[in-house]
Chains A and B, each alone.
Chain A
């Protein structure tokens, strides 16, 4: 068993890059899109000064 959930996520992306990972309001994202966008978001968060705790608000 891997010890990091990102290992599983990236293994899925590698195996099924074009498969739809999530469908939200008719907007479909493939696994590779989700990974790319997530990494971009991570870069944005890491550029902020030491954001130790993050808060995410869901828009309904």
Chain B
């Protein structure tokens, strides 16, 4: 965190990178950013060697304080030249081309997010935040800046605590942690470990989670043992600073799925159909976002920025940039529900189908399935559902799904795996799941039903 603030004081922006990322990806990021300096906490031989070949200065954290004097006049000069539209930091997010995209977050977007978040959630200076995600993950920016904004304390959870759930709870209690802003993967990990039945985090006030859809049975595991806590589902793509929507879980309401909820002040979320009409009850549309939290787009990729950051399709009166997310939502009883990605839509038997909607439908009907992934076999013209969890007979799954889905959306084949592939963030890896399916199919492991 000291490094982040140091970079900001120097009038530059930082790009957090986890040194554990594959070297090829790291090299791409170094080349893409045209970085002039790399600062590392520990020395890393491979990075140092790469810096030598690229005229990049490599600094280790320990070098920073050797005989340095602070020149306040010089710092003031930098401060006076800062603009709120300048980048504050940049994070990489996976791109459809396989190469990560750098998303630039400005001072303005960060400040607006902090202001709105605090207005809604009234965090306190007595609060203690417990950081779970690594700093190269955008969720961590909330820990860094929100804890400072409300004058709270931030504790970094040692990685080994996530290997022993009991240690994690002991750690949270030792530091009297009140606020968690975690990834869904971490919330899920604690829920599935069963630790909450034995040990409880005693000081928690609010639990925020984001990154993917948390299933209700996973959240219920938390609510069952920790009921006097606010649970908040946050939503936003990386292209928006912080989050743009939040849903405070109503524990009395028998929810089957988590809605996206309300929009933060100074932001607007529109769900539009292909003809740019706003969706009505039970219709699906693409999410468009406008407002003060929007990022500056993609670094060194004006073309892709122009494709995603577009003129508000509802008018052409003046420049009004909106972010076209590629996320789909359905409106049900006035609430919006995340359905899936535009890229995961298929056309089957003349119907447009969102594959993730099949998965979500199954989660609402059974807690026996821990995780599932619907894929489309174009060759066979069939929907395949790959599952992980407690085995259920095909006939039973079909019957369960037919309660909530039309016939044309019911998968044709069900394949059970011990574990579905995950990415480094613990999210379902759809590409690898598809590859695994094709491998099994081509090797003749799958039988015809």
Contact = CB atoms under 8 A, between A and B. Distances in A.
Interface of A: 1-6, 8-9, 12, 15-16, 19-25, 29, 31, 34-46, 48, 50-60
B137 to A, nearest CB: 10
Interface string B1-31: 1111111111111111111100000000110
Interface in B126-180: 134-136, 145, 147-149, 151, 153-156, 158-159, 175
B145 A5 contact: yes
A16 to B, nearest CB: 5
A35 B270 CA distance: 41
B443 interface: no
Interface stretch (B40-48, B189-197, B350-358, B365-373): B40-48
Contacts of B75: 39, 42-43
Interface in B45-73: 47, 56-57, 59, 61, 63-65, 68-71
B115 interface: yes
A6 B148 CA distance: 10
B446 interface: no
Contact of B70 (A3, A12, A40, A60): A40
A39 B145 contact: no
B127 to A, nearest CB: 12
A2 B59 CA distance: 32
Given A2-B111, A4-B82, A5-B111, A45 B70 contact: no
Interface residues of B, number: 74
A30 B138 CA distance: 24
Interface of B: 1-20, 29-30, 33-42, 44, 47, 56-57, 59, 61, 63-65, 68-71, 74-75, 78-79, 82, 84, 88, 107-108, 110-111, 114-115, 125, 134-136, 145, 147-149, 151, 153-156, 158-159, 175
Nearest to A39: B70
B320 to A, nearest CB: 22
A8 B79 contact: no
Most buried by A among B33, B35, B153: B153
A21 B70 contact: no
Contact of B158 (A25, A37, A43): A25
Contact of B15 (A16, A35, A36, A54): A54
Contacts of B15: 53-56
A43 to B, nearest CB: 5
A58 B17 contact: yes
B107 A41 contact: no
A10 to B, nearest CB: 10
A37 B57 CA distance: 20
A42 B6 contact: yes
